[in-house]
Each structure stands twice: as C-alpha cells, then as structure tokens.
Amino acid sequence: MPDLLQPSTSANQLSDDHRSIAGAAGLIGAATFSSRVLGFIRDIILARLLGASASADAFFVAYRVPNLLRELLAEGSMSAAFIPVFTEYHTLRSKRETWELASAVFTTLLSIVTMITLIGVIGAPTIVWLLAPGFHEDSTRLELTTLLTQVMFPYLIFISLAALTMGILNSLRAFAAPALAPVFFNICVIVSAMLHSPLLDEPVFGVAIGVVIGGLAQLVIQLPGVQKRGLLFQWRFEPGHPGIKKIGWLLVPSLLGTSATQINITVSTILASYFEGGPTYLFYGMRLIQFPLGIFGVALATAILPTLSMHATKGSLNELRETVGFGLRMIAFIILPAMAGLILLRVPIIHLFFEHGAFSAVDTAGTAAALLAYAVGLWAFAGTRIVVSVFYSMQDTKTPAIAAVIAMFLNILLALSLMGPLGHAGLAFATALSAMVNITILISILTYRLGGIDWWHFGQSFGRAVIATVPVVLACLWIASLAVWQHEDDWIAKTIMLAVAIGLSVTGYIGAHALYQSQELDVLWQLVQTKVLRKKTFYS
C-alpha cells in the first residue's frame, strides 16, 4: 500500500484530501484550543468559587443530565447520523432537496428536544434521585441538585440546534464558526459566574444560568454561516421524509455507539456520589483529559468525517482505507506526548491552576488520582473518535452500538469492583479500561470490513512517536521533582517551571521527529508553509 504522506503514483487527490483534513483539523484545533483555554479559566473560577463542596457536587451531577442528553441527541448521535446523509444529499441531489432535508431535520429535532426538556424539568426530582443515590441521606444537597437540573435543562434545546448547524457547516467544509462556538459558551459561563454569582444567596445558580445562556450563544454564533450559504431554516414537520427516516435508522443504534464514553462517565458520576468530593474530582480530571482530546482527537475526527463520508458515498474503498490509516497515524503522533505530559505533570498542573480559594491540597490529590486513571486511556478515547467516524461514514451505526454496549456493561462491572480498593479513582480507571476494550473491538471489525489497514506504516509511525516521547518524559520528570512544588506560594516560579516543561517537551518531541524525518511532521510543516505562503500572497 502506498505511503499516505508521501507523493505517490495514486492520485494527488489523496494527498489533497489529507492536507485538507490536516488543515481543517488544524483550524478546528486552534479554535478548540481557544475554547479549552477559556474553559480552563472557567474551571479555575469554579474551583475558586465552589471548591469541592456540596454545591460543587450538586452542580456537576445536575450538569451531567443535560450534558449526557446533549451527547446522545445532539453532538454525538445526531452529528454521526446526520452528516453522512446530508453529505449524500449534497453530493448526489439538488440544492433544494438538500435544504429541504435540513429544514425537516431542524423541525423534528426542535420538537423532540422541547418535549424532552419539558419532561426533564417536571421529572427532575426523580431523575436526580436515580442519578445521585449517594445524596439520598442529604435532603439539602438533593434539593439543590434538583433545582439546578431544572434550571439547566433548557440548555439541551439550544445546544441540540447548535449541533445541527455545526453538522451542516462541517459537511460543507466550513469549520471556523462551529469550532469557535464553544468559545462563546465559556465566555457566557465565566461572565455569569463573575457577575451573577456574587449577587445570589447560592452562587452556584449564577453558573447554571451561564450554562443556559452559553448554549444559546453557541447556536446564534453559527446562524450567519448557515444563512450565508443560502439556508433559512423553515418549519417543515415531515417525519415521513426519506432523509429523516434514514437518519432515524442510523440514529437509534448510534445513541449508544457514539456515547460510550459519556455513558461510562455518567455511571461513574452515579457511583461517585457515594464519595465526598467524588463527582467534583472526576469532573475536573475528565476536563483536563478533554483538553488534548478536544484540541486534537475530536478536531481530527470532526475534520475527517466529511471526507470519509464522501469516499463511502462514492464507493472508493481504497481512498477510505488510506484516510483511516492517516487518521490513526496522526492520533498516535499527537496523543502519546500528551499522555506523558498529563501523567507526569498532573499534580503540578492541578496545584498551579486549581488550588486556590475553596480548592484545597486534598482536592488536588483527589483530582490528580482521577486524572492519572483517565490519562492511561487517552489513546483509546481519541482513537475511538476516529474509528467510530469510519463506521458512521459507511452509514453503519449498529456495529459501534454493539461494541458500546459491551464496553458499557464492562465499565459497570469494573467500576463496582474497583471503587472499593481505589475509591473514585477506580471509577475513572474503569472508564479508561472499558474504552480500551471498545476500540479493540471496533478496530478488529473495521480491519476485516475494509480488507485490512496499513498497519506497517502505522507501526513505523507509532515507533517514532514512542521514541520521540522520551525527551518529553525526561523534561516532565525533572520539572515535577523540583522543590518549588512543595512551597505554598511562589506562583510565578511555578508558572515559569511549567512553561519550561512544556517548552522543553515540545522542542524535544519535534526535534526527535525531525531527526527521524517523520512523515507526520512533514505533513504539518507543509501545512504551515502553505498557510504562510497564502498570507504572503494575500498581503503582497
């Protein structure tokens, strides 16, 4: 099989596809990085404001409800089921038929999520009672969690419609606005926490209000991009539309397939309610995991799905297989050093950014334990995003659903087994282990389905990434061992040391790949050169 990253005798279009994917992933990653930085600032503010208190536990349990539904009905399953069908209409049918499909999906989705929201607000006491059994003996915390759930449930309506517009724009290769939308969500939460929370008897409600406003902002910021492409959503209630039926058939099994990680996290949240501070530690641990996962893993999966769907629609099996190999190689290139950095610098990172105000050293230790357990499965979380996208591009949502069900039950068994000896960290470790099983099943089936994947080149790429990660490990071990982390203050020195660790790690990693003449690094370098050349041409 030809090397995906070298000019080959197979068409230049393949290289163009890969450069396009890398460019889109870079754009999404840059926007996601901005969002993650703001999200990090948001989490720092929440940690200072709430610490790991009963209010924090109540908020994170309450937020889990609409967040899970968002993943199931919107950003996960809806995107996975909608993009391949929308791409098929856009590729093979007229513009009018394509926009009629989009309006029909908009109307159907709005109707469904509005009904779910009403049910959720009314049934919040029962939902919280089931979701947080550890709160049953604390009526105050149970009541607070219920009220927060009711306040935040309308977020589901806005974020679902935002996910639909995101799917449309991504299908049309317009990635900027969808990628920037979460930036406005974080801004709304930060502003609300800073302005509203001090005025309320229970500050956590200021954060909850910000969540709802942020969901609306994510929708509004994308509407100009959709309108620019000639689409104005119309009320078109057509549940019998052929496209709606096709999306529905894809959507039902994908409710589990695309959300295996979210469902596992929810199970962990339920069990974590038995540990004081458990929901909060797991939330912040997963938030730190989401930083590299969102910037690189999700960005690459988002960028690659339209290309995969196009190849699948045209029946181009070779191109589909090569694009899969390219995605897996780039994941290995990016995620391995991120794993090493998070594992070795987990305590300094949490101490520097979160250990202020109500967030104590005990909370740092609890969050670090959760982060370590999650981090060992980062490669599986990221890789699953790519592999699942391949199945969805082929309009197969059943296979990921079956693998997800297996992983979900395994997660429950592991969580119940590990929570005794390891506490809340055992719940995080169970999530990581089940993700590893999930991706192993999916890759085995996909390899058979595609008639093989270019594992030879992947093995070479993985080996280079492992060797190049050695400088990262050495730099992180050195910085983490410094005495400055034992001091209560010296925040400037700690910030400098963490920046040095990151700088040495990035320099060492890129330098090692340059020595090995890494093909993945060549792709990124060519992408940078292309963008620089475009800027020079624009300004000349």
Q: What is the reported pLDDT for 531?
A: 46
What is the DSSP code string of 42-59?
HHHHHHHHHTTSHHHHHH
Q: What is the reported pLDDT for 540?
A: 42
CA 509, CA 324: separation in Å to the nearest integer?
24
Q: What is the reported pLDDT for 539?
A: 38
CA 201 to chain centre: 33
- List pLDDT tens digits, range 481-516: 888 887 777 778 888 888 898 889 889 888 888 887
* SS3 letters across 182-213: HHHHHHHHHHHHHHCHHHCCCCHHHHHHHHHH
Q: What is the reported pLDDT for 9?
A: 35
Q: What is the reported pLDDT for 56?
A: 82
Q: What is the reported pLDDT for 74?
A: 55
Q: Digits of tens for pLDDT over the chain (540 positions)?
A: 333 333 333 334 445 555 555 555 555 656 666 766 777 788 788 877 877 677 888 888 888 777 777 766 655 566 667 777 887 887 787 878 888 888 888 898 899 889 999 999 999 899 888 877 878 777 888 889 999 999 999 998 998 888 888 878 877 777 677 777 888 888 999 999 888 888 888 888 998 999 999 999 989 888 888 877 777 777 888 877 888 888 777 776 666 655 565 667 677 777 887 888 888 888 888 888 877 776 666 666 666 656 666 666 666 677 777 777 777 888 888 888 989 999 999 988 888 888 877 788 888 899 999 999 999 999 998 888 778 878 877 777 788 888 888 988 899 999 999 999 999 999 999 999 998 999 999 999 988 888 777 788 888 888 888 999 999 999 999 988 888 887 777 778 888 888 898 889 889 888 888 887 777 777 666 655 544 444 444 334
CB contact at 8 A, 438 and 263: no
Burial code (b: 16+ CB inside 10 Å, e: under 16) for 466-501 equals eebbebbbebbeebbeeeebeeeeeeeebeebbeeb
Q: What is the reported pLDDT for 374?
A: 93
Q: What is the reported pLDDT for 152?
A: 92
User: Phi, psi at residue 247, to the nearest 5°?
Assistant: -65, -40
Q: What is the reported pLDDT for 437?
A: 93
- List pLDDT tens digits, range 341-356: 999 999 888 888 888 7
Amino acid residing at 303: A
Q: What is the reported pLDDT for 159?
A: 87
Q: Which residues does 185 contact at the CB level (< 8 Å), separation at least 6?
A: 35, 214, 215, 217, 218
CA 465, CA 156: separation in Å to the nearest integer?
39
Residue position matching structure tokens 């659903």? 401
Does the pTM of the predicted model rise above 0.75? no
Q: What is the reported pLDDT for 375?
A: 93
Q: What is the reported pLDDT for 228?
A: 79
CA-based nearest residue to 482, from 338, 352, 287: 352
CA 425 to chain centre: 21
Q: What is the reported pLDDT for 47?
A: 79
CA 211, CA 169: separation in Å to the nearest integer?
23
Token readout for 99 is: 């926009």
CA 148, CA 484: separation in Å to the nearest integer?
40
* SS3 letters across 450-496: CCCCCHHHHHHHHHHHHHHCHHHHHHHHHHHCCHHHHCCCCHHHHHH
Token readout for 93 is: 């049918």
CB contact at 8 A, 2 and 10: yes
